[in-house]
Amino acid sequence: MLAQLLVSGIAQGAIYALVALAMTVIYRATTVVNFGHGDLLMAGAFSVYVFVVLLGIPYLVAAGLGLLLLFVFGYLVQRQLIQPMLDGPHLALAMMAIAVGFALRGIARIYWGREVLPFPRIFPADVYVLGDVVVTSGNLIVTGVALTLMLVLFAVFYLSPVGKLAQAVFQSARGAALVGINVPRFYSIAWGVGAAMAALGGILIAPMTFLYPDMSVWILIRGFAAMTLGGFGSLHGAVVGGLLLGVMELLLGAYVSSSLIEITSYLVIILVLLFRPAGLFGQRQVVRV
């Protein structure tokens, strides 16, 4: 039983890691935590659903269009709504991100209400049995994508010129601007990339959790908990935090009480902020929320 719980927890945690990675990209580039991220993920999943189910577009083309659509949306949100407020109170940034997320959720509710929709199957239905442990192909794919994204982002941030720009902006936006970096454009692109990654997460998660407008609620809190546990700004921390959170949920649910599954993420956030605010791998930074 323990082995199955660990494997299932890692598979579940890979979903949280995908969400935390996308949030970390935005935070690492702009020092802003996007509390509307869960709704971007939902919007990306719904956009692909519309393209595939309602418009009959082939899945791979629809996925590409969904990623592009969310990139443009994230770019415009930062350029038109976030950028003018960067010098304002941190609370205003948080409220704007939440307001954008609520608007997306409201639009989805207008068309689908609270209906739960089956997402088109994109994973093979293969099941692998190793002793007493059962693993599905979907679990393997999502876990593989999370780990691959971490490696790609690590290479981008630490081994490429783009990463040097990101680190310069992260440490001092004013200093980066003085040496010729177009900081506003960099911020907008980072938000676009983060939104596109949210769409990717939605495309991978929706087939396993179904699709509905309020799916963003549980996704956001667990992604934020994973990001908090791993450490703000840490790419590998986001992945480790997500995997640990998934394992903790199932272990506490199995050995203590099933009701703990729903509140584990909240407990993690509280305990980490109380005893280790920087998380497992993060560094102390001034955070814009």
In this structure, of 59-63, 117-121, 151-155, 234-238, the range with the lowest mean pLDDT score is 117-121
Kindly state the average pLDDT of the residues 70-84.
Answer: 92
Lowest mean pLDDT, pick from 1-5, 17-21, 81-85, 165-169 = 165-169
Q: How many domains does the chain have?
A: 1
What are the residues facing 129 on neighbouring strands?
Answer: 134
End-to-end alpha carbon distance in the chain = 40
- pLDDT tens-digit readout, 36-51: 899 999 999 999 889 9
* Class of residue 177 by CB neighbours under 10 A (exposed 0-12, middle 13-18, buried 19+): middle
The predicted-structure confidence for 150-161, as pLDDT tens digits, reads as follows: 888 888 888 888
Any idea what DSSP says for residue 32?
B
Model confidence, pTM = 0.85
Considering the domain boundaries, does residue 281 fall inside one? Answer: no
Cα 137 to Cα 143: distance, rounded to the nearest angstrom = 10
Question: pLDDT tier at 283 (50, 70, 90 boundaries)?
Answer: low
On whether residue 280 sits in a domain, the answer given is no
Residue 289 lies in a domain: no
Q: What is the pLDDT of residue 284?
A: 55
| Maximal CA-CA distance, the chain | 60
In a domain, 51, yes or no: yes
For residue 93, the domain's CATH number is 1.10.3470
Q: Is residue 288 part of a domain?
A: no
Q: Which domain holds residue 190?
A: 2-275
Give CA–CA dist 272/287, Å, rounded. 16
> What 3 state SS string does 150-194 have?
HHHHHHHHHHCHHHHHHHHHHHCHHHHHHCCCCHHHHHHHHHHHH
Q: Does residue 13 lie in a domain region?
A: yes
